[in-house]
């Protein structure tokens, strides 16, 4: 018989077009999803998915169930908000500190929705640069830190968001355009365009260039668009999340290249104090953020 877990699986399948990726998304194994799918198919006597070579595609029946899933899961979320309201756990503060500037891109619409749903929660972005953002939580300067840190620390909980690839961004006519994959040495003689944060917070430098002993020139800009403009006008190369530059790449404004054979990957977490983690409005924020990211951002992978 149909259960909510099937619906959750269906949406994941729909958004990933892959059984194994969808499995990660719902924190199960690929095998579990295969079994679920098979059970559904025999139950309804209809194929739900169709193999299309490597990836899969949803059949008409599958899409039917996905659209059901969308409606149902939203209604459940809404009801759970109502329940929080009844238990009067509806107010508090959610001040978000961002470690990575690009995250503004996907965070904005989520914050708008959040304000609608939790009018009594004081929602804010913590501005300015902070050398140790996790410290902000303990000091009471922020309630959530969105960053790549996930060291175990008493009193702190790290909620996984997703894994994403950082790509090198070049002008379309750049000399390196011929290479499919860039190596550390390719950065020796270029200017690196970054956000105005210290070296150790730039993954490309910390994980790739520094180990190779390469220290390129740097130039900074505050906004993603500004960085891309500099790149497009041949002032240098940037390294940005794949989803942050997608639309610019699609419009041939810039081109993107993998860094290293396996690519340069980074993880994103939403870290909070233990007490914040159990607040209904934070749980709602978290699931909304995850759903929105997986639905909107291409090329991201679930963590754990």
Partner DNA sequence: GCATGATTATGAATATCATTCATTAATAAT
Partner DNA sequence: ATTATTAATGAATGATATTCATAATCATGC
Positions in the binding site for DNA (CB under 7 A) = 5, 18-21, 23, 27-32, 34-39, 49, 51-56
75 binds its own copies per the rule CB under 8 A: yes
Q: How far apart are CA 299 and CA 246, in angstroms?
A: 10
Shortest spacing between CB 257 and DNA, in angstroms: 15
Instruction: Select the residue interacting with its own copies from 28, 32, 39, 61 (CB under 8 A).
Output: 61
Shortest spacing between CB 181 and DNA, in angstroms: 11
Instruction: Select the residue interacting with its own copies from 26, 28, 39, 72 (CB under 8 A).
Output: 72
Shortest spacing between CB 258 and DNA, in angstroms: 12
Chain residues 28-57 in contact with its own copies, contact rule CB under 8 A: 44-46
Q: How far apart are CA 9 and CA 13, in angstroms?
A: 6
249 binds its own copies per the rule CB under 8 A: no
Determine phi and psi for 97, rounding to 5 degrees.
-105, 130
Shortest spacing between CB 256 and DNA, in angstroms: 17
Does residue 236 come out as left (phi exceeding 0), alpha (psi in the -120 to 50 range) or beta?
left
Q: Let me know: does 61 contact 46? Beta carbons within 8 Å.
A: yes
Signed CA dihedral, 233, 238, 240, 243: sign only: positive
2 binds its own copies per the rule CB under 8 A: yes
Q: How far apart are CA 143 and CA 72, in angstroms?
A: 30
CA 190 vs CA 151, 203, 280: distances in Å: 33, 17, 48
Applying CB under 8 A, which residues contact its own copies? 1-5, 44-46, 60-61, 64-65, 67-68, 71-72, 75-76, 79-80, 82-83, 86-87, 89
């Amino acid at each position: 018989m149909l259960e909510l877990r099937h619906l959750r699986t269906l949406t994941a399948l729909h958004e990933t077009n892959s059984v194994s990726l969808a499995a990660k998304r719902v924190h199960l194994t690929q095998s579990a999803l295969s079994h679920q799918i098979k059970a559904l198919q025999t139950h309804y006597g209809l194929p739900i998915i169709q193999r299309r070579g490597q990836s899969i595609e949803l059949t008409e029946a599958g899409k039917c169930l996905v659209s059901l899933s969308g409606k149902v899961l939203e209604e459940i979320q809404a009801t759970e908000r109502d329940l929080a309201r009844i238990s009067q756990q509806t107010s508090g503060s959610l001040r978000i500190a961002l470690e990575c500037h690009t995250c503004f891109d996907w965070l904005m619409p989520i914050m708008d929705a959040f304000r609608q749903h939790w009018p009594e929660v004081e929602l804010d972005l913590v501005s300015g640069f902070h050398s140790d953002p996790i410290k902000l939580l303990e000091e009471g300067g922020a309630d959530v830190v969105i960053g790549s840190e996930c060291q175990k620390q008493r009193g702190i909980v790290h909620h996984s968001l997703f894994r994403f690839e950082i790509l090198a961004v070049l002008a379309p006519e750049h000399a390196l355009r011929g290479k499919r994959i860039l190596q550390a040495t390719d950065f020796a003689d270029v200017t690196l365009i970054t956000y105005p944060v210290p070296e150790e917070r730039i993954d490309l430098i910390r994980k790739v260039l520094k180990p190779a002993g390469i220290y390129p020139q740097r130039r900074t800009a505050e906004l993603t668009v500004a960085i891309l403009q500099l790149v497009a006008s041949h002032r240098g190369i940037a390294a940005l999340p794949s989803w942050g530059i997608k639309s610019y790449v699609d419009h041939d404004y810039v081109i993107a290249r993998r860094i290293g054979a396996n690519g340069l990957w980074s993880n994103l977490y939403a870290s909070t104090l233990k007490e914040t983690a159990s607040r209904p409005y934070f749980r709602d924020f978290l699931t909304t953020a995850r759903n929105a990211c997986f639905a909107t951002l291409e090329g991201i992978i679930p963590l754990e």
